[in-house]
Structure 1
């Protein structure tokens, strides 16, 4: 059975650290906790789980901190979590099976990361992350912000998921500040950094600046295809904020230069036409979304609702606006098959009942 070091970086996580560590208790062979400057009881809490607690002076570089944490791991594989991550009970069982069957030739294990949940506890935003990595005794993390490890060697994909359950806003300006400091020092952003910098600008409602960064990211090339496709969707949103409707539409269509349509893009196109009461064109794109195959292992950011519930519930709206209530009700029933407790579906049930 493979041995695993859990290596974490933490700061002021007293509200969530115990929840995280309890969720992996018995799954890992050692816990390494690196504190980057806590002023609450985080460090004391970590010491109640492990004596392998270290201090690291924070210098606005997540990769540096994570590499330091990984350098302290002594087991065959190194695993990372954030303090507000958990393994749910069903994922613990899958993880244990992974650990029992992990062969020595595996270098990287990719695992689903559910970073958004709806009111029913279902994932609304998921992607795969490099979660377990062979302990090579060297730095693996890259990127001051949105740090990552480039997959290498033999890579396998596991169904054991990590669920992100954020508590509180944290420092909303931290990531943007780190990027802007890099630029102020005259450093050049890599394609991946430029993509995430644009996302941070959007989060701060700086849509004009974000659009410039997204256009540069797409024009210069060198980015990962899934990021290029998402960049088109993000650029569309930025252009809509600026009142450029034709440019917003073109940005979505430009995504087809990179690969076949993703359901997320089809839903964005459906929403574009739906907002302009072009009901039949919206229907076309929502129906196309339902034909797209979901591929979580492609590595992109997947919005599961776009592959089922969302197009169905919007097709209900579109057909209803066209006066085709029977078709609309049928689509609502189909949406309910995906999310039977969703408020929109339940509201529609009452609405169609009132028509009869």
Structure 2
């Protein structure tokens, strides 16, 4: 059995820290909490679970705080979590099993991070992160925001899911942190530039996001996955601005780095649809239906329920525009298989019935 130090950094997390620690405190052997300036009851809550609470003067650098927390760990392995993360009972049992069975030649373990959910509680966005790492190996964090844990050696993926519980990210706070850092003459590395562009996009600063993401794409950077995401965000920015030809170009450029993703093909189809180039839109909507949304299960899983419905709905519209009513009706009924009570499906069915079509089975 391995021993585990849980290392966390906190600041004003009184609303969620108790649930986090409650879900994991009886599994780990040591709780290391580094607080960066809480003014609420975070520290009082934490002290119910551990007396190893340390203060760290905030210097606008998440990596610095995380590296400090790692430096305090004394056990064989380090598990890191954020205050708004929890383990379900099923995943608690899996972590206990891993603790009991992990081969000590393994240097780091990847787990899935279930990051966002729909209104029914179904996970819609999940990706892999290195969560459990061997101590005393020199592993370290870099990038002052959206920090990255640098690891090497033997690795293992394990089917444990960490659940993120915070509902919204604070884009304005994150953008302000980036701007403050740059005012200090800090030079953003390529990865930080990529994330800055993403924050600008999420905050609605589309022109600034375009400038930053285009700069990122000129950098010497070997992560094709981030390049594809940057191009996808560029396409989104151009789409919001109504510049659909530029959005199309961004999508097509992403194919240089990775096999086309279903979600990118869907975007591409929608841009052609906006330009009333319906035959091209039909091609890409059909391509969407033939693909899966996840290109690498170790990196990202995107909920693909929408792929079953939306392309058919849009194919219904496109075929109607080119006068192929039979195909339009067919795709409306295919959409109905997935969301039968959708108001668009019902409205379209009434239209097709009035035109003498009734393919409902």
Give the TM-score of the pair, scaled to structure 1: 0.88
Larger radius of gyration: 2
How large is the Cα RMSD of the aligned pairs?
Answer: 2.3
CA deviation string 1:99-124 (max 9, x = no partner): 22211111111111111101121111
Question: Equivalent residue of 2:178, what SS?
Answer: helix
Q: Counterpart of 1:311?
A: 307
Matches within 5 A, 1:178-327: 178-276=177-275, 278-293=277-292, 294-299=294-299, 301-305=300-304, 309-321=305-317, 322=320, 323=325, 324-327=328-331
Distance 2:156 2:306 in 1: 31
Distance 2:147 2:105 in 1: 25
State how far apart, in whole Å, the 2-side matches of 1:208 and 1:135 are.
43
Question: Tell me, which stretches of 5 or more residues in structure 1 are unaligned?
Answer: 337-343
Q: Is the 8 A contact 1:14 1:45 kept in 2?
A: yes
**1:107-151 superposed Cα distances (whole Å, 9 cap, x missing partner):** 111111111101121111111111111112646111110001123
Aligned to 1:105: 105
Contact persistence 2:6–2:78 (CA under 8 A): yes
Map Cα deviations across residues 28-64 of structure 1 (whole Å, 9 max, x no partner): 2221111111111110000001111111111110001
Residue 346 of structure 1 and its aligned partner are, at CA, apart by 5.0
Shift of 1:251: 0.6
| Contact 1:11 1:36 (C-alpha < 8 Å) held by counterparts | yes
CA distance in 1, matches of 2:28, 2:132: 11
Structure 2 distance, partners of 1:347, 1:27, is 49
Query: Residues 334-355 of structure 1, C-alpha deviation per residue, up to 9 Å, x if partnerless?
Result: x35xxxxxxx865567557866
- Asked if 1:328 corresponds to 2:332, the answer is yes
Question: How far off its partner does 1:200 sit?
Answer: 1.4
Change (3 A) 1:279 1:303: farther
8 Å Cα contact 1:84-1:167 kept in structure 2: no
Is the contact made by 2:285 and 2:314 (CA closer than 8 Å) also made in structure 1? no
How far apart, CA to CA, are the structure 1 residues paired with 2:296 and 2:341? 26
Return the offset for 1:253: 0.5
Whether 1:152 and 2:148 are equivalent positions in the alignment is no
Aligned length: 343
Corresponding residue for residue 175 of structure 2: 176
Q: Distance in 2 between matches of 1:101 and 1:331?
A: 46
Which shifted more, 277-286 or 87-96? 277-286
Q: Residues 216 and 152 from structure 1, CA distance in 2 versus in 1: closer, same or farther, beyond 3 angstroms?
A: same
Residues 261-302 of structure 1: CA distance to partner in whole angstroms, max 9, x if unpaired? 122211221332344455553343233234335344442x44
Which moved further from structure 2: 315-324 or 77-86? 315-324
Q: Any idea what the Cα deviations from partners look like across 1:7-48, whole Å, max 9, x if unmatched?
A: 111111111111111122322222111111111111000000
Gaps of 5+ in 2: none
Distance in 1 (CA, whole Å) between partners of 2:341 and 2:143 is 42
